[in-house]
Structure 1
Amino acid sequence: MQMDPVVLFFLLGLLAGLAKSDLKLPSALYDTLSVFLLLAIGIKGGLELAKQPFLQVLPQALLVLAMGFVIPLLVYPVLRLKFSQVDAASMSAHYGSVSVVTYAVGVAYLSRLGVSHESQTTLFLVLLEMPALIVGVILARQGANQAGKGSGHGWGKLLHEVLLGKSIVLLMGGLLIGLLAGPEGIKPLDRLYLDLFKPVLTLFLLEMGLVVAGKFGALRQQGWFILLAGIGLPLALSWIGIGVGHLLGLSVGGVTLLALLAASASYIAAPAAMRMAVPQANPALSLGAALGITFPFNLLIGVPLYYQFAHWVA
C-alpha cells in the first residue's frame, strides 16, 4: 500500500537526523508551524461543530472527559513496575494526554482514504489535553511529598499553566472562531487554514523526524521495558478509545480518531505542566518514550492499524 506523503516527510527528517545531517528548520519557523496547525485544527472542528446540536454533543464530551481521567490511572501501575512514583506519574500524564500532531496525521490519513469522521472529535482532542495532566500531578505530588521533595507550586498557578497553555488556547480559540464565524465567515481564510493544512503539516513532520532522531540515545539507557511500554501502551489504550467510540455511536472514522487520541502521548502540554509542577521527575524518560517511541510508532504503524481495528468491530 502506498505510504502517505506526510509520513514520508517524517521519515526524511528521521533518517537525516540519524545520519547526523546539518538539516534543521529555524526555531521561529517551527513555532509558526505549531501555531498554524493548532489554529487550523480548531477552526476545522469549529466549522463542523456548528452543525451539531449542543445537547447531543454534551453527553459525548462528558464520557470522553471521564476516559481522560481513567487512562492515566490505568497506565500508572504498569509504569510503577520499573520507575519511581514521581517518574511513573509524570509518564502517565504524558500517555493520558494527547498528541495534536498525531491527530492531524490521522485526519490526513482518513481524508486520503475518503473516510469521513464526526466533527466533535476536535472537541474531544481539546478535552483530552487536561484530565491526565491533573491526575498525573496529583500522583506525582503524592510521591514527591512522601519523599519530602514537594515542588511548592500552588494549584492556581498549575491550573493556569494547563488551561491557558499555548496548545489549549489556540485549539479552543480556533474552535470558537470556526463555530462563531461559520463557513461563510471563514471563506476569505479557507485557502490558508483549510487548503494549506496538509502542506504545512509535512514541514512540521520533517522537523519532528529530526527531533525524534535526537532522542534515541537517551532511550538506549532504559533497556527493553521502555520500548515495550512505548509500543504496548498505545496498542492497549487504543481499544479503550474504540470501546468509548462505539458507546458514543461514532462512525468508523470517528472511532479511528478516538482510538488514536487514546493511544497518543503528549509531548507539548504534558512536559510543560510536569516541568513546573513536578521538577523532580526525569523529563528524558517521559519525553523520550512519548516522542522517541510512541509518536513514530503511531505515525508509521498505529494510524492504519487503529483504522483496521475500528473496521473489525464495526
Structure 2
Amino acid sequence: MSDFFPLFLKQVQSPTLGFLIGGIIVASLGSQLKIPDSIYKFITFFLLLKVGLSGGIAIRKSNLAELLLPALAAVLLGILIVLIAQYTLARCSGIRFVDAVATGGLFGAVSGSTLAAVLPQLDTAGIKYEAWSAALYPFMDIPALVTAIVVASIYVGRKADGTSEDVDIWAIVKDSLQSSAVTALLLGVALGILTKPEPVYESFFSPLFRGFLSILMIIMGMEAAQRMNELRKVAQWFAIYALIAPILHGFLAFGFGLVIHQLTGFSIGGCVVLAVIAASSSDISGPPTLRAGIPSANPSAYIGASTAIGTPVAIAICIPLFIGIAQSMLAT
C-alpha cells in the first residue's frame, strides 16, 4: 500500500489522464477550441489499426500449440470481466449502463505498462514463465473491447426499440462487428498475423501512436467536461469498483491458470502473467476503441476509474500479491 499513492500521483501525471484533464479544463473555461471531425476520424482509425497490428504481430510470433488453452482462458476472461461489470457496477444506483459496460471493457482490456512491469519482477524473483506468455494480451484485450461494444449496442437497441422481445440481437451484434472501430481493430489483427508489417509498424505506426493518442484524449476531455454532472453523484461507485475489480479479476485469472497448470503443465509464472494482465486495465488500446464503439459512454468515468485507480492497484498491489502467492506455492 505504501507504493499505491506514489503510483496514483504518477498516473495522474501520465499523458493519457493528463491530456484528458487538460481537455476538461479547456472546455470548462469556455474555450472555442474545435478539432475537425475528419481529423478525429483519421486519428481513431490510425490508433485502432496500430493496436490491431501489435496484437496480430504478437500472435504470429507466439507458439500457437502451447498458447491454445491459455489463450482460450484469456478470451473467456476478457468476456467475463465485461459481464461482471454489467451485473455489478451497472446495478449500482445512478450508474448509466453504457458507462458501466465501457468501464468493464477498459478493465477487461490490458495495460501494456502493467504487463511490462510484471515480467522483470518475475525474473528478479526467479520465477520461470513461458517466453510467449506476454502474447496472451491480445486474446484478452480484443474480446473484452468487442464484447463491451456489442453489449452496449444491444442495450441501446433495446432501449430505442422499447420492447425486448422484438429486438433482433444478432443484427445488432453484426452491426457492432461491422462498425468502423471493430473493423479497424480486426483488420489490424489480420494484417499482423497474415503479413509482416514490422517495417511500417516500427517506422510509422509506433512513433506516432502516443502523440495521436494525446490529441484524442484532449477531444475526449472536452466531451467529458460537458457531462461532468452525470458523475457527481455516482463517482464513488466507480472508485470502489476500480479498487476491488483488479484484485477480483486477478484471482479469477490465477484460478484459470492453475487449472491449465494441472492439465498441461503451464508454469506458475505463466499463471502470474495471466493474473496480472487480467488485473490490469487499458490506458492505450481501450480509450480510442470505446470512444468510437460506445460514443454515448462518458470518458471521464471509464478512463478516470482505470488510469487513476485501477492501474496503481494492479501495479502496487496485484503484482506483488500474485508473485508472493507463486513463491509460496513453489516453496511447498
What pairs with 1:132-143 in structure 2 (closer than 5 Å)?
Answer: 132=148
What's the offset of the Cα at 1:56?
2.7
Pairing 1:25–2:72 present:
no
* 1:110–1:213 distance in 2 versus 1, CA, 3 Å: farther
Match of 2:228 among 188, 205, 216: 216
What's the offset of the Cα at 1:38?
0.7
Unaligned runs of 5+ in 1: 273-282
Aligned amino acid, residue 205 of structure 1: M
Match of 2:194 among 159, 180, 198: 180
Aligned partner of 1:118 in structure 2 is: 134
Q: C-alpha separation between the residues in 2 aligned to 1:164 and 1:115? A: 39
Pairing 1:197–2:202 present:
no
8 Å contact kept, 1:39–1:174: yes
How big is each residue's C-alpha offset from its partner over 1:23-63, in whole Å with a ceiling of 9 and x where there is no partner?
A: 23222111111111111111112222222122333322322
Pairing 1:307–2:323 present:
no
TM-score (norm 1): 0.73
Pairing 1:128–2:144 present:
yes
8 Å contact kept, 1:44–1:175: yes
Q: C-alpha separation between the residues in 2 aligned to 1:237 and 1:214? A: 28
8 Å contact kept, 2:281–2:306: no
Larger CA deviation: 237-246 vs 260-269: 260-269
8 Å contact kept, 1:41–1:174: yes
What's the offset of the Cα at 1:216?
0.3
Aligned partner of 1:235 in structure 2 is: 243
TM-score (norm 2): 0.69
8 Å contact kept, 2:149–2:290: no
Aligned partner of 2:266 in structure 1 is: none
Aligned amino acid, residue 164 of structure 2: G
Q: C-alpha separation between the residues in 1 aligned to 2:221 and 2:303? A: 10
How many corresponding residue pairs? 285
8 Å contact kept, 2:118–2:273: no
Larger CA deviation: 240-249 vs 189-198: 240-249
What's the offset of the Cα at 1:192?
1.0
Unaligned runs of 5+ in 2: 1-5, 122-132, 258-268, 324-332
Aligned amino acid, residue 311 of structure 1: I
Other structure's SS at 1:98 match: helix
What's the offset of the Cα at 1:260?
2.8
Pairing 1:57–2:80 present:
no
Determine what percentage of the aligned residue pairs are the same residue.
Answer: 17
What pairs with 1:36-115 in structure 2 (closer than 5 Å)?
Answer: 36-67=46-77, 68-69=79-80, 71-73=82-84, 75-77=86-88, 79-80=90-91, 82=93, 88=97, 90=98, 92-98=100-106, 106-107=111-112
8 Å contact kept, 2:55–2:138: yes
How big is each residue's C-alpha offset from its partner over 1:77-112, in whole Å with a ceiling of 9 and x where there is no partner?
A: 55435369xx65x55543433379x85xx4367769
8 Å contact kept, 1:71–1:132: yes
Aligned amino acid, residue 296 of structure 1: G
- Two-structure CA RMSD over aligned residues (Å): 3.8
How big is each residue's C-alpha offset from its partner over 1:57-79, in whole Å with a ceiling of 9 and x where there is no partner?
A: 33223223333236424642554
